[in-house]
Structure 1
């Protein structure tokens, strides 16, 4: 390679590295680790069991349309991975114990033989239980094995008992029960829920990994020890080539993989992202052969076999080349060894499709022949040789006039800024916790893991105090004994204090919660002052979930919200975030009537503790809705302008879980000002989105018919 080619590759490496960094991917992994660990810690201290976010979401490598993977450890069960009496003696009494039986099975697969009584109840989905005996297969010799097939079928049945309001269906996806959701611009998405049994220790079949000679000390000894302590899980999935598939369970090292990804440096992480982009851009030929787990495995092998100092920004293309050559080598050898269990070939049974394998090899060869052009193609940037803005190392700020970065972020990043997802995750997670749970979390804050970022601790504090404030107000509304004289005044002052503590957790959510409190108390002037304070700040607002969120500039309550261009974004002093608002169905007492009705229609259902029974509304829609209530109270003549803005925001949310609620809010607002035909129009559209009797649009329609028949004003 001559000097010019070498320089071009270095410049391209730096440019692509900077592009990923500008897109937030560098910070994203660190943020996501902290987010995930906080949520898991909060679940653990409140006794909600072991639930782990895994896969691309937990790693911070998810892209548009990616699935979300949740691993739930079945409580009070354990798998003995060896015959050590010492391990048996250390088990907590009351656990249902299984013995791993690997003999005669492919590496990483085993049958699980019951070692204790079968009288136990198994707690699976949403506290639904079944008898352990329903999941067992009994052999002639009296031995009993828990069967993966029966577990998955039982999980699927239980998941279908819980109706998620934006779920399209529930199906089996490998070892998982998978909720299929509407996912905005990406059509549909999946949340895979796998129910696993914890292993008692690190499995003997993976001992080689612990003892492996590592020339370049990756991973570090500290990480190796942490991974050994994590052990493994067993998930209900058998080897498809086995006669005993229905009984087999697969060893899962998802927690170890997650920890390794979190310990990658940024160049390694960006290589992994490009490998995943390679799959995405070539899924027609790779779909049945390769997957992101294999790409991750390739990266782990290359990281272990490469000098640490090589993984730096100027070498990104060279490191990617090493990964692609390693993948090609595995394909040609017809063997891709599992990173933790080398004798488990991940390509087992996949090499019969010679035409498809050949097509992948040709694609990789072509890519290796001109890596810079191919990388530009992956990230959606057109390379014009010497004029390429990446290869010539021009500042990325010069790219904005041709919208390259804007388009790339829209397609792949979904994460500008990174903080938006943190805020959304914490708000959503806190919505699952009762006020008693939140008290426990607050009491245990001094024991929070050090790996959780300080800004996340502060954010969690603010969200928790907001939830405590709302909980205290609900206590006030439901207990007449506290509504008396000084006790009432002191209690309401404390509610306001708690809500104000969370006022600045984001651009809008904390303030809108305080506005809701003021409106419920009849303090409309105070409520309007808070609404106006949102618009007085000269900031760019990143609103809602990445799936539907946009960047907006405030320009006064009565104006439309044009989307901000990337150039304006770069010039803005800073960005403020506004996440969606989530209300539990038992929060209805402190909500405005229209949202209270959304909750009340689900009250009494079997799954009120879960996401299907969280009422979600986007911040911009909620802000305009509250503004309409204020304008109606003061009898403002320009209330139609605010309703028009509400309509614009609602219509922008088609395809999201909040669209149907937005239509109901819009119809309700038209009803408030006596525009009954418009109200009926939006209620009809809401019913088309959610045609069930629990949709409050039916209630509103009957109210309008009744009130119109009596010629009374709709209040």
Structure 2
């Protein structure tokens, strides 16, 4: 049996403990994977509900694999697979009525790449035509698709939603730069081929003594097919025509089948590259190369060595293979080994220095780990050797993961610009789609989470129609609203309270608000807003504790979404809040971004301020002066001390209306001015100020 030297074992165990402390353990890795896969499913369910079936979304990379840390700040890798294209490898796979392209992988094409021949849409025959901006006719008459066609689609940003408004296109991909507190997102357009690429079939069929990957894993990988990505092999004679073959789905499967020691090896390799190589030789050795090296090491070693107490030796094994790859300037792709990932990446001038750095790390016997500053690995390791404890990040990671999940789930169906009756039809169809879809796994979970939000919105639109026509709410609307009351702690219940308030059923409003107060524990319920991206300042400790216990279910106990009323819900909104729907003058609209700022045509308010506002109004009606003043004080206090309100300016506006009701005109004006100071344009405070000054002028006259 393999024996681990005592020194190596001691360092390995301490290093494993450090990595567990920063969230690289089985539980958090699974949480990360579940969160990203659910986000992927929610994105695709949303797109289907919106009839945006032009693409299917996939999330790849370290975030989806669970192979990142907070300190590494990995980008989110988002792949859009365009559904209108069908890439085939056999004529029998031809589909009528779609854009069919035959994948060609012959000796003239670089390993790991292919060219795409255009076929006719009516019959399975080659298409005919001439060369132009997007197509090339070769000497044999084949019409080949240039890969430049897909990056051009990035400029049609309306197809992909508002989050592409900060997109910067770089060659075949795009980078959507996140604001402070948000990660950048790498975006790639691709086409899907249902069958396994010919160049990868040797990997699938080869038999060896290796215990990993198993025949079952290989079989599953082959069923995922592949993508073709619009980038050619640099320096190739046919670079503009070549498409890179991507086996990302298969690689995600392989990564999901690694044990925690193997994952920790990969995380450490990335930290080493970023700490010791990137400062001088940035991007020469990529994370993808590190992943490829790891997979080769696992496939060519006995499974028994990949244990926590042998982490340092496993890391040295990977670094030694990386060292040899650099010497030979050859890092073979794991599935298509003829594709050399290092070709042309390392110049002769820097090669000796890179080799020296890697060699020194290997020979340091773990001492180099003390020089890693990412996630404070070096100092944490020193603390471990002195048996001192450092802060564990698992709860914090869980909280951030839930925030991402809750934000994506709460994104509404696009009926903002529809009439109430059109909105009812669209929402009814969406609910029918969700109920009738045959799905399992994460897609089923996404549908279960999405359904209550659709029910609440449909119920509210119906209630608005009822109030407008009959000044009451019919049972069908109330039943739908009741199906969505538990989307989170407060927002859907506040919609119900708002509806009841608009029909002046004050006693029932009081009961609903009392239930919200009972559930809204200020120690752990966290407000969140999906309207726009803003830098969050702090999150509650209690919130993190809840998130660490649950997965996506934590949103029911620990999150309070902002309350959004669409224009088609107009009659469910108290008069004081309706002004938010007309906040923008014609001149101010030019300063809005069409998709990102579409929430500005709605009445949107954070749950907690709205709770206290409704309490103030209800207690005013019931003549409970002490309770009314208490609610007003809580509203003011929340606006001042709550760090993460997404719509603080709106909260100030409704506080101003309360001050007007109290006869405190100067305080009301101060509230509106403070609101304008937060958001200079597209703010209903301007309307309130004009109205207030008019009243004051008439009073003086």
TM > 0.5: yes
TM-superposed CA distance for 1:436, in Å, is 4.2
Q: Quickly say closer, same or farther: Cα 1:168–1:616, change in 2 above 3 A.
A: same
Is 2:61 the counterpart of 1:55? Answer: yes
Alpha-carbon separation, structure 2, partners of 1:538 and 1:649? 10
In structure 2, the partner of 1:129 is: none
Q: In the TM superposition, what is the alpha-carbon distance from 1:346 to its structure 2 partner?
A: 0.8
**Residue number in structure 2 paired with 1:84:** none
1:152 correspondence with 2:156: no
- 1:226-285 superposed Cα distances (whole Å, 9 cap, x missing partner): 211111111112223235433332111121122222222222223222333334434323
Q: Displacement of 1:426 after TM fit?
A: 3.1
> CA offsets, 1:550-596, max 9 Å, x none?
44268xxxxxxxx99x9xx99xxx99531655859566545667876
Q: How does 1:605-644 map onto structure 2 within 5 Å?
A: 613=598, 621-635=606-620, 636-638=628-630, 639-644=632-637
Q: Give structure 1 stretches of 5+ with no counterpart.
A: 82-86, 120-131, 555-562, 688-694
Matched, 1:348 2:329: no
Q: Which structure is larger by alpha-carbon Rg, 1 or 2?
A: 2
Alpha-carbon distance change, 439 to 328 in structure 1, aligned in 2, over 3 angstroms: same
Gap change, CA 1:38 and 1:685, over 3 Å in 2 = closer
- Secondary structure in structure 2 of the residue aligned to 1:52: strand
> Deviation at 1:309?
3.1
Q: Secondary structure at the match of 2:540?
A: strand
SS at match of 2:175: strand
Deviation of 1:15 (Å): 1.5
Counterpart of 1:448 (choices 439, 453, 463) is 439
Three-state SS of the structure 2 residue aligned to 1:343 is coil
2:558 — aligned with what?
577
| CA–CA distance in structure 1, aligned partners of residues 580 and 238 of structure 2 | 48
Post-superposition offset of 1:634: 3.1
Q: 1:415 maps to which residue? A: 398
Distance 1:583 1:359 in 2: 55
**Partner of 1:223 in structure 2?**
217
Q: What's 2:540 paired with?
A: 552
Name the SS for the 1:461 alignment partner: helix
The separation in 2 between residues aligned to 1:23 and 1:602, in whole angstroms, is 49
SS at match of 2:336: coil
Determine the structure 2 residue equivalent to 1:239.
233
**1:362 Cα deviation from its structure 2 partner:** 0.8
Shift of residue 344, structure 1, vs aligned partner: 0.9
Could you report, residue by residue, the CA deviation over 1:645-670 in whole angstroms, capped at 9, with x for unpaired residues?
Answer: 223335x56xxxx4xx4334434533
- Residue 516 of structure 1: CA displacement? 4.7
Query: What residue is the counterpart of 1:525 in the other structure?
Result: 510
TM superposition score normalised by structure 2: 0.77
Alignment correspondent of 1:498:
483
Question: Matched residue of 1:238: which SS?
Answer: coil
1:106 Cα shift?
1.9
Name the CA distance, whole Å, in 2 between partners of 1:460 and 1:712.
Answer: 55
Distance 1:262 1:704 in 2: 58
Query: Is 1:426 paired with 2:409?
Result: yes
What are the within-5 Å matches in structure 2 for residues 24-39 of structure 1? 25-32=28-35, 34-36=37-39, 38-39=41-42
User: 2:357 corresponds to which residue?
Assistant: 362
Distance 1:700 1:287, change over 3 A: same
How far the C-alpha of 1:289 sits from its partner, in A, is 0.8
Any conservation in 2 of the 1:23–1:416 contact (CA below 8 Å)? no
What is the SS of the residue equivalent to 2:83?
strand
Q: Is the 8 A contact 1:39 1:426 kept in 2?
A: yes
Aligned partners of 2:44 and 2:57 also within 8 Å? no
1:708 Cα deviation from its structure 2 partner: 1.1
Alignment of 1:306 onto 2:294: no
Give 2:459's match in structure 1, choosing from 456, 472, 481: 472
Does residue 75 of the first structure (1) align with residue 67 of the second (2)? no
> TM-score under structure 1 normalisation?
0.76
Q: How does 1:159-178 map to 2 (within 5 A)?
A: 159=157, 164=162, 169-178=166-175
Corresponding position of 1:208: 202
Moved more, 541-550 or 65-74: 541-550
Give the equivalent residue in structure 2 for 1:287. 282
Give the corresponding residue for 1:686.
679
Q: CA deviation at 1:158?
A: 0.7
Number of aligned residue pairs: 638
Give the corresponding residue for 2:686: 701
Measured at CA, do residues 243 and 549 of structure 1 come closer, stay the same or move farther in structure 2, by a change above 3 Å? farther
Is there any run of 5+ residues in structure 2 with no aligned partner, and where? 124-130, 416-422, 621-627, 661-667
Aligned residues of 2:600 and 2:682 also touching (Cα < 8 A) = no
- SS of the residue corresponding to residue 663 of structure 1 reads helix
Q: More deviation in 144-153 or 155-164?
A: 155-164
For the residue of structure 2 that corresponds to 1:171, the secondary structure is strand
Alpha-carbon spacing, 1:709–1:598, altered in 2? closer, same or farther (3 Å): closer
Residue equivalent to 2:418: none
Q: Over residues 102-123 of structure 1, what are the superposed CA-to-partner deviations in whole Å (9 max), with x where a residue is unaligned?
A: 443322223322122599xxxx
Structure 1 residues 560-571: aligned runs within 5 Å:
none
Which of 509, 514, 534 in structure 1 is aligned with 2:519? Answer: 534
**Residues 515 and 530 of structure 1 are in contact (CA less than 8 Å); yes or no, is this contact kept in structure 2?**
no
